[in-house]
A and B are shown apart, each in its own frame.
Chain A
Amino acid sequence: MAIYLDHAATTPLRAEALEAMLPYLTEHFGNPSSPHAEGRRARAGLDEAHEQVAAAIGADHREIVFTSGGTEAINLALKGAAWAAKPYGHHVITTAVEHQATLNAVHHLEKFGFEISVLPVDRYGRVDPDELAGAITDRTTLVSLALANNEVGTIQPLAAVVERVRHHHRILIHVDAVQAAGSVAIDLGALDVDLLSLSAHKFGGPKGTGALFVRRGTTLLAQVHGGSQERYRRAGTENVAGAVGAAVALRLAVAERVETARRARRLRERLREGLAVLPGVEVTGHPVERLPGLLSIIVRDADGAALQMALDLDGLACSTGSACTTGSTEPSHVLTAMGYPEDEARGALRLSIGRPTTEAEIAAAADLLRAAVERHRAAATALGSGALSVEMSA
């Protein structure tokens, strides 16, 4: 009945992942650090999860650190690497279209004297690899970049960035692959980066579980202190069921990636064509180098939040692009960085397709969207230019 087109925010837990997790929430309840049979059973599940995640991205199992999610993985990567490299430098490079986890982590570092360069992007949200190379100084220790943008789906020219950064010694590269994993091929055997963040619930795993790839030999300062878990890189009794679910979901997502992406792209194009009849609708982000299941648009003379609300009441779940819970009307920092003025950025909507999405849902969603936009524009006219308020009584 209700149509869910917000898979970029989160996507349902896969049945296979749930099935694999359940024993670790029931009979295999042991603490993986305990030496007895119950502990060993849990430890075996956790070990296997490390191996599966590593195998799915071309890494070694000792290079995987499970965390409480993508945000923690990113924080561990940025703060852990920046502090560990402090003896050599204090300059961190990132881009203006990163997730808040990255931007707020580097701004936190800035308060401790780190120097931060936030690079601009083009109209599609892409950073210029040469400009990035030009920002490198002899104090630079870390470059952080999201492989795919969560709001507009643009995929960064990562290979070109890596190639340029590798001309320098002692600069670590962190890739935020939270939105990309499962949609974009990731092979850390070929991709020469040092740190890479993942979030399980974006690819059919459970919420509250993420992982950080830390290439062997990379020095990282732990940000959560306590026991020796995760090879001293993340203390605290492990979320075994979460790790197991994340591993199964990632293994399946990677195995099915080509087919899933092909299907998602086809549905996305169908949705885009369904909206093409509406005047004043623009697709944001790169036309080709983008996530297959993510359609980000700007509806002119419309308010994205109001459209999103109206569509929710109509039974269609979508997003304005950035999750906001306090109703602030700050325009998206991503669209602002891409050069969209505030009045255009207000009309942003993000529709994201997932494995369960059907052709019938896409057709119905296109109808609902067209109707909602037309209704919205008519209402805006009825309520007066931009005022959206009824007349006061005499």
Chain B
Amino acid sequence: MSGGVDSSVAAALLCRQGVDVVGVWMRLHDVADSYSESRRSCCSADAADDARRVAGQLGIPFHILNLEAAFGRGVLEPFLHAYQAGETPSPCVDCNSTVKFGALLGQARHLYGCAAVATGHYARVAVSVDAATGRTRYRLLAARDPDKDQSYFLYGLGQDQLAHTRFPLGELTKPEVRGLAHELGLATADKPESQEICFVPGGDYRTALRDRAGWTPLPGPLVDVDGRTVGRHQGTAAYTVGQRQGLGVALGEPRFVARIDAAANLVQLGRRADLQRRAFAVRDAAFVDGKPPHPSGFTADVRIRHRAALVPGRIRRREASDPAAPALWDVEVEEPVWAPAPGQAAVFYAAGEVLGGGRIAPAGA
């Protein structure tokens, strides 16, 4: 229970179904020590108070679980590392895989004897039995509400995790969830959506880079399409692929960050059309079923950022000259996708089902 309306309603729905529910608020980082003037934060002491209040309204036990170590290792460190390496992190993907359905699920099952972890994610799990093998398969499906679907962030969940996961909001729309919260009189019914990254209360991740990773910006060249230096960047970690704001250059046609080379301390710009891609590579692939639909390749609808359109594509395992090297998958999409950012998740869907996904590799990988 984050203290937001979604997890509040998720808990309430389970209670209504007669499920024996324990409310848990995860303490993930030191932001939890402070109360915030903003109602948007999901991870300050206020959020814990809101979650506790809702648990009190529902009459369920409520505890704060300290998962700082797992979060630091699984989310915060990769986040800081990604920016410093010129990539764009996907902290919510990491948090789901390693914290919510990692450390939390492990503790829930093994320490507290719980059957499952339920969250307020908008996604669905379908259970089917394979006729040929008799094996039970857990399938991860997009939420019924396409506006709220969060299945993109959940591609890293495997069979064992999904078998112990409940998404009570998967069949609901956001207005329906708000309506239920009002109907039930939940304290969080009117709470605004949280938008920011939970461990960056001010919203500027560069503050976190400075404070948590000791980042000192090293300015360097901003290079235009033709290779001409057109300005200075304020440290490569301060930029993400696709970024338009804050470049400090005026070149007629709008420019975007096309490529970041942290090793060379260089930020390459491009026009909108220059960032269209028909092909990119994916590393650290994970498949919900534990294995890809076919070992050498498959077709799927590809999504390269949260809420981005699905684009049909073909995914092939790259022949590796070095068998010990990490596996790469080459993705070719039928329609160009705009600005696939290295480090961000690319997720593969088939008819609304999440097959798996991976992280976009830098061009040339």
Interface size class of B (residues with CB under 8 A): 35 or more
Cβ contact within 8 Å between A393 and B290: yes
Cβ contact within 8 Å between B107 and A388: yes
Cβ contact within 8 Å between B27 and A328: yes
How far, in whole Å, are A376 and B103 apart by their CA atoms in the complex? 15
Of the stretches A17-25, A157-165, A211-219, A308-316, the one at the interface is A308-316
B270: CB under 8 A from chain A?
no
Cβ contact within 8 Å between A383 and B68: no
Q: Which of A312, A325, A392 is in CB contact (< 8 Å) with B48?
A: A325
Which residue of B has the minimal Cβ distance to A376? B111
Cβ contact within 8 Å between A394 and B102: no
CB-CB < 8 A to B159: which residues of A? 393
Cβ contact within 8 Å between B66 and A390: no
Cβ contact within 8 Å between A327 and B111: no
How close is A388's CB to chain B, nearest CB, in angstroms?
A: 6
B90: CB under 8 A from chain A?
no
A389: CB under 8 A from chain B?
yes
A375: CB under 8 A from chain B?
yes
Which residue of B has the minimal Cβ distance to A308? B63
Given contacts A310-B112, A312-B63, A383-B107, whether A389 and B27 have CB atoms under 8 Å apart is no
CB-CB < 8 A to B111: which residues of A? 306, 310, 375-376, 379, 383, 388
* B15-49 with Cβ < 8 A to chain A: 22, 25, 27, 32-33, 45, 48
A329: CB under 8 A from chain B?
yes
A305: CB under 8 A from chain B?
yes
How far, in whole Å, are A389 and B73 apart by their CA atoms in the complex? 12
Among A383, A388, A393, A394, max chain B CB count under 10 A is at A393
CB-CB < 8 A to B66: which residues of A? 305, 327-329
Which residue of B has the minimal Cβ distance to A378? B110
Among B27, B107, B109, B288, max chain A CB count under 10 A is at B107
How far, in whole Å, are A313 and B21 apart by their CA atoms in the complex? 10
CB-CB < 8 A to A382: which residues of B? 110
B97: CB under 8 A from chain A?
yes
Q: What mask results when residues 270 to 291 of chain B are scored 1 for a CB within 8 Å of chain A, else 0? A: 0000000000000000111011
Cβ contact within 8 Å between B103 and A393: no
How far, in whole Å, are A392 and B73 apart by their CA atoms in the complex? 13
How far, in whole Å, are A387 and B106 apart by their CA atoms in the complex? 10
Q: Which of B22, B48, B109 is in CB contact (< 8 Å) with A326?
A: B48
How far, in whole Å, are A313 and B113 apart by their CA atoms in the complex? 10
B120: CB under 8 A from chain A?
no
How close is A374's CB to chain B, nearest CB, in angstroms?
A: 12
CB-CB < 8 A to B287: which residues of A? 394
Interface size class of A (residues with CB under 8 A): 20 to 34
CB-CB < 8 A to B290: which residues of A? 393-394
How close is B286's CB to chain A, nearest CB, in angstroms?
A: 5
Which residue of A has the minimal Cβ distance to B26? A327
CB-CB < 8 A to A306: which residues of B? 107, 111
How far, in whole Å, are A375 and B107 apart by their CA atoms in the complex? 12
Cβ contact within 8 Å between B27 and A326: yes
Q: Which of B65, B97, B288 is in CB contact (< 8 Å) with A327?
A: B65
Cβ contact within 8 Å between B102 and A390: yes
How far, in whole Å, are A64 and B65 apart by their CA atoms in the complex? 42
Cβ contact within 8 Å between A390 and B64: no
Cβ contact within 8 Å between A383 and B110: yes
Cβ contact within 8 Å between A309 and B110: no
Cβ contact within 8 Å between A393 and B160: yes
Cβ contact within 8 Å between B112 and A313: yes
How far, in whole Å, are A332 and B113 apart by their CA atoms in the complex? 27
B86: CB under 8 A from chain A?
no
Cβ contact within 8 Å between A388 and B157: no
Cβ contact within 8 Å between B97 and A389: no
Cβ contact within 8 Å between B161 and A327: no
Q: Which of A329, A387, A392 is in CB contact (< 8 Å) with B156?
A: A392
How far, in whole Å, are A383 and B104 apart by their CA atoms in the complex? 11
How far, in whole Å, are A379 and B105 apart by their CA atoms in the complex? 12
Cβ contact within 8 Å between A326 and B63: no
Q: Which of A309, A389, A394 is in CB contact (< 8 Å) with B106?
A: A389
Cβ contact within 8 Å between B64 and A327: yes
Which residue of B has the minimal Cβ distance to A393? B158
Among A376, A378, A390, max chain B CB count under 10 A is at A390
Which residue of A has the minimal Cβ distance to B48? A326
How far, in whole Å, are A313 and B98 apart by their CA atoms in the complex? 25
* B244-294 with Cβ < 8 A to chain A: 286-288, 290-291
CB-CB < 8 A to B58: which residues of A? none
CB-CB < 8 A to A313: which residues of B? 22, 61, 112-113
How close is B70's CB to chain A, nearest CB, in angstroms?
A: 5
Cβ contact within 8 Å between A326 and B45: yes
Cβ contact within 8 Å between A327 and B32: yes
Cβ contact within 8 Å between A390 and B61: no
CB-CB < 8 A to A392: which residues of B? 97-98, 102, 156, 158
Which residue of B has the minimal Cβ distance to A390? B106
Cβ contact within 8 Å between B45 and A388: no
Residues of chain A having any CB pair with chain B under 8 Å: 305-306, 309-310, 312-313, 325-329, 375-376, 378-379, 382-383, 387-390, 392-394
Given A306-B111, A392-B156; 12 other pairs, CB 8 A cutoff: A309-B112, A313-B61, A325-B48, A325-B64, A326-B32, A327-B27, A329-B68, A382-B110, A389-B98, A390-B105, A390-B160, A393-B157
Query: Lowest 9 A-B CB distances belong to which pairs?
Result: A393-B158, A327-B64, A327-B27, A379-B110, A390-B106, A389-B103, A327-B66, A309-B63, A379-B111
What are 13 residue pairs bridging A and B, where the CB atoms are less than 8 Å apart in the complex? A309-B65, A327-B25, A327-B32, A327-B66, A389-B70, A389-B102, A389-B106, A390-B103, A392-B97, A393-B161, A393-B286, A394-B158, A394-B287
